[in-house]
Amino acid sequence: MRRAGDEVRINVQLIDAGNGAHLWADRVETDRRRLLGAETEITGRLARSLNLELIKDLDRRIDETGTIDPDARDLIRRGYALWYRPRATRNNVEAIRIFERALEIDPRSLDARVGIAKILVSNVTQAWTDTAEQDIARAEDLLLQALEQDAGCALAHSTMGMVRREQNRLDESRFEFETAIAFDPNDTYAHIQLGWTLVWLSEIEAAVERCEKALRLSPRDPQLWGYHLPLGWCHLLSCEVEPAIDRVLRSRALNPRLWFIHFSVAAAMGLGGRIDEAKTALTEMLKLKPEASSIARCRRLRPWGNAQYWALFDETAATGLRRAGLPDG
């Protein structure tokens, strides 16, 4: 820790005690007046970063040893290492295979159940499955089993929040994410997903607060594209066009594989009058998701939200999409 006037800088390193190798480093900056208030944020960020680094390090070791059939716990960690990569169909396919294998080895595994449920819900959210109703039903069943084993499992509650949102039970979704955060204040996934639920509940200021909290906790998160995207939507729905464009472009730069990111870029660019760029984003979206060929069809793919949300959507995002050339029907 170093101090220069009122500014305080904290440098942290993670060293492998076995061989002295440098694994990870981070830096946190604050000021002396905020030092006590920043303590929770600092420890939260370090806890989050250390957990991610240990998962990645274990995944590297499994790869290096060439283990064919590691035990269930190693499989679960490998599955989560895939989960923390940028979202892509191939990562989800491999992760669910690994979690299913872990559950075969240890049918009592709570972590395997939650892992399978997370991938199932992710596939439904991204419209990567033709069996959405069955997948959500199975995810719900797995999570209920997990919560019977451990009612305080933050990951089970945050994943149940996703299930409830897919069912458009937004108040219950909010409750599950808030419960997850109560059990684990450093669960950035719960903070971000609560932010999305608040967007669809039209509580934009509260959504911004949650997303910014997650960014402070994990500013170099492997899923950082998913932190910028909801903030982009908060700005978009508030008709703050330039900040919206900035956020959705950051999201696209970090993960151009998801159709909804290109959809968001098209909406923001169209609303801002940057029509050529909006049309280009729309073309990229349709390459990834041809069935999203109208505003109505896009709404069916992502149907969540209360009446106030959809009114805001029509005034802002839908206006931008129409300017980009996406038809209504």
Encode pLDDT of 228-243 as tens digits: 999 999 999 999 999 9
pLDDT value, residue 54? 56
Same domain for 18 and 108, yes or no, is no
CA angle 51, 55, 58 (to 5 degrees): 135
Same domain for 166 and 194, yes or no, is no
Q: What whole-number percentage of the chain has pLDDT above 90?
A: 69
Same domain for 198 and 229, yes or no, is yes
Residue 7 has pLDDT above 60, yes or no: yes
59 in any annotated domain: no
61 in any annotated domain: no
Q: Binning pLDDT at 50, 70 and 90, where does residue 222 land? A: confident
If you average pLDDT over every residue of the chain, what do you get? 88
304: alpha, beta or left? (left if phi > 0; alpha if psi -120 to 50): beta
259 in any annotated domain: yes
Domain boundary, last residue among 145, 169, 184: 184
* Domain range enclosing 88: 69-184
Same domain for 91 and 145, yes or no, is yes
- CATH (domain of 307): 1.25.40.10
Residue 47 has pLDDT above 70, yes or no: no
The separation between CA 95 and the C-alpha centre of its own chain, rounded to angstroms, equals 16
Q: Binning pLDDT at 50, 70 and 90, where does residue 42 land? A: low
Same domain for 207 and 120, yes or no, is no
Contact 143, 160 (CB under 8 A): yes
288 in any annotated domain: yes
57 in any annotated domain: no
Same domain for 173 and 229, yes or no, is no
pLDDT value, residue 50? 63
Contact 268, 295 (CB under 8 A): no
Residue 152 has pLDDT above 80, yes or no: yes
Mind giving me the DSSP string for 169-231? -HHHHHHHHHHHHHH-TT-HHHHHHHHHHHHHTT-HHHHHHHHHHHHHH-TT-TTTHHHHHHH
Same domain for 327 and 193, yes or no, is yes
Same domain for 41 and 91, yes or no, is no
pLDDT value, residue 321? 98
pLDDT value, residue 67? 39
* Burial call 215-240: b when 16+ CB within 10 Å, e when fewer: bbbbeebbbbbbbbbbbbbbbbbeeb
Same domain for 226 and 327, yes or no, is yes
Residue 244 has pLDDT above 50, yes or no: yes
Same domain for 150 and 269, yes or no, is no
Encode pLDDT of 71-107 as tens digits: 888 898 889 888 888 788 999 999 999 999 999 999 9
220 in any annotated domain: yes
Encode pLDDT of 157-177 as tens digits: 999 999 999 999 999 999 999
Encode pLDDT of 51-77 as tens digits: 655 555 555 544 544 433 458 888 988
Encode pLDDT of 19-33 as tens digits: 777 766 777 777 777
Same domain for 299 and 170, yes or no, is no
Domain boundary, last residue among 119, 153, 184: 184
Domain boundary, last residue among 184, 208, 236: 184
58 in any annotated domain: no
pLDDT value, residue 28? 73
Same domain for 126 and 92, yes or no, is yes
Contact 293, 299 (CB under 8 A): no
Could you tell me the pTM of the whole model?
0.80
pLDDT value, residue 60? 54
- pLDDT mean over 109-125: 95
Encode pLDDT of 273-320 as tens digits: 999 999 999 999 999 999 999 999 999 999 999 999 999 999 999 999
275 in any annotated domain: yes
Question: For the chain, how many structural domains are there in total?
Answer: 3
